[in-house]
Structure 1
Amino acid sequence: MPWSVAAISANLRAVANLPTNKALPTRRSTSFDPDVALAFGEVFQSMRVERGHAQDAFALVAGVDRSYYGKLERGERQPSVGLLLRISKAFGVSGAEVMAAAEQLMAKRARQKVRRR
């Protein structure tokens, strides 16, 4: 037998004494904020519907994959700055206008949360 009982026992004791990483966080850091993603999604959807565009047709005009654009509108993804500017340009508005609309929506939701408490 290549392994002796003594060698196996020594290896098990060594493994049992290895330091654990209990100090490490269990979740990884992320920049995704569901409130932000939902606010931008609602703004994108309302602007698109207001202008009478179909989702897939608008995604094509904006240069965004249609399935990804759908995830943006549902708040499953958060737009990068570059993507925000590209979508804003397709709407014919500035990125600042879209950002302001999302900020107003988030502030409104925050006030509603406070009232419910």
Structure 2
Amino acid sequence: MQQSRPPKPAIQATSKRATSFEPKAAAAFGAVVRDERVKLGVAQDQFALIANVDRSYFGKLERGERQPSLALILRIAGGLQIPAGELISKVEKSLQKTK
């Protein structure tokens, strides 16, 4: 009986040393968040207040310079008025397009 393999992760490790920062994932997350925020018609600094995120840190998130924690993803999704799972799904789809 042949065992099934787990699905490949959306992000592949690019180096041999461990790191928690994934540039492609961070960029995809930032782009999706920016698109969703713009759809709401909310300015970046205003949204940072809504989501309870430091304004300058939020800008870095949108530019893909920082990678959010789970708690931050939940706050951002709440500010965007979408479930966190839907936000992550959009990020995964964005990553699939860039392959």
TM-score scaled by length of structure 1: 0.69
Give, in whole Å, the separation in 1 of the partners of 2:53 and 2:18.
26
Q: Which residue of 2 aligns with 1:48?
A: 37
Q: Which residue of 1 aligns with 2:98?
A: 109
Greater Cα offset, 67-76 or 78-87: 78-87
**Computing the radius of gyration over CA atoms, which structure comes out larger, 1 or 2?**
1
Q: Are 1:35 and 2:20 an aligned pair?
A: no
- Once the two structures are TM-superposed, the CA of residue 29 in structure 1 deviates from its matched residue by 3.1
Q: Which residue of 1 aligns with 2:82?
A: 93
Determine which structure has the larger helix proportion and give its number. 1
| Aligned residue among 71, 77, 90 for 2:60 | 71
Q: Report the identity percentage.
A: 51
| Aligned residue among 70, 77, 81 for 2:70 | 81
Aligned residue pair count? 84
Q: Which runs of 4+ in 1 moved over 4 A?
A: none
